[in-house]
């Protein structure tokens, strides 16, 4: 491989790491407090869906920052729902999954692998986007994150359109009466 291509690729990857880290840590205390003020009034069972709603209703340019702030607020309020919050946000706005996962992992570094796996398993979310974001947020847990994602069966990456019809259903004649006997 050409050395200049490797150098350019390395610089690009480094730039992505710093950009992701900037999104995660660029939230001011005021932004996080604003999200916390809204979310603290929400019952624990509804925290994840309310955080996802805040992100979905944010202007497109601000969604990553809102996802990060909302996730940090939820992890401060109730750390037990951090993974559920990352999943809920990722389901509503898949493009901000890396920011939400990185924010949660930064607050709960011992759960970084679990959080990265939760985000990566959401349909429409690419593991190649989540991995560097979470590693940038918690570099000391890189091995844990890589191990968790390498053992995963990422259906979101393998089959984004869902499962097809079953073989048994395909072999059944159209005029059968579905009695269970062949």
pLDDT digits (tens, 9 = 90+) for 128-141: 999 999 999 999 99
**Within a domain: 61:** yes
Supply 38's token pair.
């809204």
Q: CA 16, 20, 25 angle in degrees (round to 5)?
A: 145
Residue 162 belongs to a domain: no
> Is residue 2 included in any domain, yes or no?
no
Domain membership of residue 181 (yes or no) is no
pLDDT in tens, 135-177: 999 999 999 999 999 877 655 444 444 444 444 444 444 454 5
Position 31 scores a pLDDT of: 73
Q: How many domains are there within the chain?
A: 1
Model pLDDT for residues 25-59, shown as the tens digit of each residue = 445 677 778 788 888 888 989 999 999 999 999 99
The candidate with the shortest Cα–Cα distance to 108, out of 130, 90, 129, 82, is 82
Dist. CA 100–CA 39, nearest whole Å: 15
Residue 168 lies in a domain: no
Q: What is the mean pLDDT of residues 10-16?
A: 46
Q: Is residue 128 part of a domain?
A: yes
> What is the mean predicted confidence (pLDDT) over 71-76?
94
* 95 contacts: CB under 8 Å, gap ≥ 6: 63, 64
Q: Report the pLDDT value the prediction gives residue 151, as an integer from 0 to 100.
A: 75
Query: Average pLDDT of the chain?
Result: 79
Share of the chain above pLDDT 70, in %: 68
Residue 111 falls inside a structural domain: yes
Confidence of residue 82 (pLDDT cuts 50, 70, 90): very high
Q: Is residue 173 part of a domain?
A: no
List phi, psi (to 5°) of 134: -70, -40
Residue ranges making up the domain that contains 103: 9-157
59 or 179, which is more confident: 59
């Amino acid at each position: 491989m050409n050395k200049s291509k490797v150098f350019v690729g390395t610089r690009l990857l480094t730039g992505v790491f710093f950009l992701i880290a900037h999104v995660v840590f660029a939230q001011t205390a005021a932004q996080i407090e604003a999200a916390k003020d809204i979310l603290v009034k929400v019952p624990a069972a509804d925290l994840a869906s309310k955080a996802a709603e805040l992100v979905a209703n944010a202007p497109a340019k601000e969604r990553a920052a809102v996802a990060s702030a909302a996730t940090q607020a939820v992890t401060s309020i109730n750390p037990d729902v951090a993974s559920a919050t990352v999943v809920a946000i990722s389901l509503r706005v898949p493009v901000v999954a890396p920011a939400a996962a990185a924010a949660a992992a930064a607050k709960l570094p011992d759960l970084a692998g679990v959080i990265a796996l939760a985000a990566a398993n959401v349909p429409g979310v690419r593991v190649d986007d989540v991995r560097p974001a979470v590693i940038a947020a918690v570099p000391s847990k890189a091995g844990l994150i890589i191990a968790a994602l390498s053992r995963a069966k990422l259906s979101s990456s393998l089959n984004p359109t869902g499962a097809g019809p079953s073989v048994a259903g395909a072999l059944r004649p159209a005029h059968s009466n579905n009695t269970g006997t062949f």
